[in-house]
Chains A and B, each alone.
Chain A
Amino acid sequence: MRERERSFPPAVEMKDVTLFYGNRAILRDFNLEVHLGERVLLKGPSGSGKSTVLHCLLGLAVPREGVIRVRGEPVDSRSVWKTRLYLGYVPQEPDLGRGTVRQVLEGPFAFRANEKLRKNLEWIPSLLRRFDLAQELLEKQASTLSGGEKQRVALIGAILLERSVVLLDEASSALDEENKRRVAEYFRETPDLTILAVSHDAAWENFATRTVSLAPAFREESA
C-alpha cells in the first residue's frame, strides 16, 4: 500500500469541501483521501452527508467550495464526464427503471463510453450464481423485484461496468445476513478494486481496511 500511495494519486480525494442544499450546510470543510486498493467504510448519523460525499465524487452534487479529484483528475464541469468513468456506483434503494432485468443490465452498454466493455455481459450468469439469484430473473420485469433482489441486480450492474473505484451507498441494507456476507466476500476477493462504502451493517466493518466518521455539519446560513 505504501508503495502505491507514493506512485499513484489517491483514487478519490476531497479537500476542504463545503456543500449547501439551500441554506443548509451538508458538508463543511470535509476532507477525505482513499488510496488505490483501500476499502473504506464511511460512517455517521443519518443526515451527516454520507450519500452527499458519494454524489460529490460522481459530480451529481456540486460543492460551493473545495477541490474534488478522482484518480488525480479534478471533478469539475469540464472533466466530470471523464471522471465518472472511473467510478462504479450502487445507490441507496436503487431504481432499476422499466424493462426486464436483462434490459436493465444491458442498458448502460448502449452508452458510447461503455461500448467496448460489452463483452462483460458474459459475466452475468456467474454473477447471478455468486449473489444467489436465479438465471430466470433476467426475464422478469425489474419493477417486480424485491428490495434485496434489486440491490443485488444493481451491484451486478456496477460490477459489469468494471470501474476501478466502486462507491456503495447502503448497498446491502435489504439483504439477509447470508447475502451480506456474499457481497462483502466478493469485494474482498477482488483486491484491485477500491471501495468506498456507506453502511450501517456490521458485515462491512470487518471488511473495511479503514473507517471514516462524518459529523453532521448542520448550520443555518444564508446562501
Chain B
Amino acid sequence: MNGIIHITPEQLGGGYLLLLIPLSVFLLKKVPIIRETGIAVIRMTVQLIFVGLYLQVVFRLNNPWLNLAWVGIMVGVADFSIIRGCGLRLSRFLFPVFIALAAGTLVPVFVFMGAILQRSNCLDAQYVIPLWGMILGNCLRADIIGLKNFYESLKKDEKLYLQSLAQGATLKEALDPYVREALQASLLPTVASMSTIGLVALPGMMTGVILAGVDPLTAISYQIAIMIAIFSGTTLTVFLALRLTLRRSFNSYGLLDPDVFRTK
C-alpha cells in the first residue's frame, strides 16, 4: 500500500471548481441560497485552515495539557451550541450539559486509547484529538435531539404529565416515559447507521484510514471500534444530560419551571 498523496494548494484550488455545479443549479432554478452557500464555503475554508495550522502546532508539541485544553475548548463549543440549538436557557444548562458531554466523550475515548489501541500515552495528540472530535460530533447531535425532544414533549404534553402527577406518580415515574422517548429518538440514528454501515456508504474513519494507505481489514477494525465508542458515548451523554438537567428544571412540586426555555 502507498502512503497518503499530498494535495498542494493549487490542486485543492482545482477542487473548488466542482462548486460550479451547485452554483449553476442554483442559478438555473433560482434557488435562493447562493449567498449562504458562499458564506458556508468561506467559513469552512477559513475554519479548517485555522484548525489545520493549530493542530500542526499541537501535534508537534504533543503536550498532554495542551491537548487536554484543546479538547476542553471543543467540549465547551459543543456545549454552547447544544443549548442554543435546543432553545434552552444557557445559564441553567451550561454546566450540567458540559459535564454530560465531558463524561460521554472521555469514557469511550480512554477505553479506545487504553484498551483497544493500548497506547501508554492516552493523551497522544495524533489519536486523542481526532477520536474525541468524532465522538463529540455525534454526542452533540444526539444531545440536541434528546434534550429538545424531552423538554418540548413535556411542554406539548403538559396536561398528560400533570395528570400523572395527580394520579400519584413520583417525579421519576412521571418523567420516565419522556426520558425513554428522548433516549430512543436520540440514539435511533446511530443504531440505524450501524445497521447499514458499509452497505449504503463507506464510513468516514474507514475511508480516511484507507486513504492513508492502510489495508482495509485494519480500516474496518478502526471503524467497528469507533462505531461502538460513538454509540456508548452518545448513550452516556444523553442519559447524563437528561439526568443532570432535571434537578434544575423542576420545582419541588414536580412542575417544570417555564424559565428553562430561552425567551427572545
Contacts and interface: CB of A to CB of B under 8 A. Distances in A.
A35 to B, nearest CB: 22
A97 B170 contact: no
A62 B163 contact: no
A95 B163 contact: yes
Interface string B165-192: 1111110010000000000000000000
A113 B166 contact: no
Given A85-B168, A112-B173, A113-B168, A91 B253 contact: no
Contacts of B167: 84, 89, 107-108, 111, 114, 157, 161
A77 B168 contact: no
Nearest to B167: A108
A71 to B, nearest CB: 15
A101 interface: no
Interface residues of A, number: 25
A110 B169 CA distance: 9
Contact-residue size bin, chain B (C-beta under 8 Å from the other chain):
10 to 19
A110 B167 CA distance: 11
A8 interface: no
B11 interface: no
Nearest to A110: B173
Contacts of A78: 252
A94 B170 CA distance: 20
Given A62-B251, A77-B252, A78-B252, A89 B170 contact: no
Contacts of B253: 59-60, 62, 77, 80
Given A77-B253, A97-B157, A84 B173 contact: no
13 contacts: A58-B162, A59-B165, A60-B162, A60-B166, A60-B253, A77-B251, A77-B253, A89-B166, A94-B163, A95-B159, A108-B168, A112-B173, A113-B170
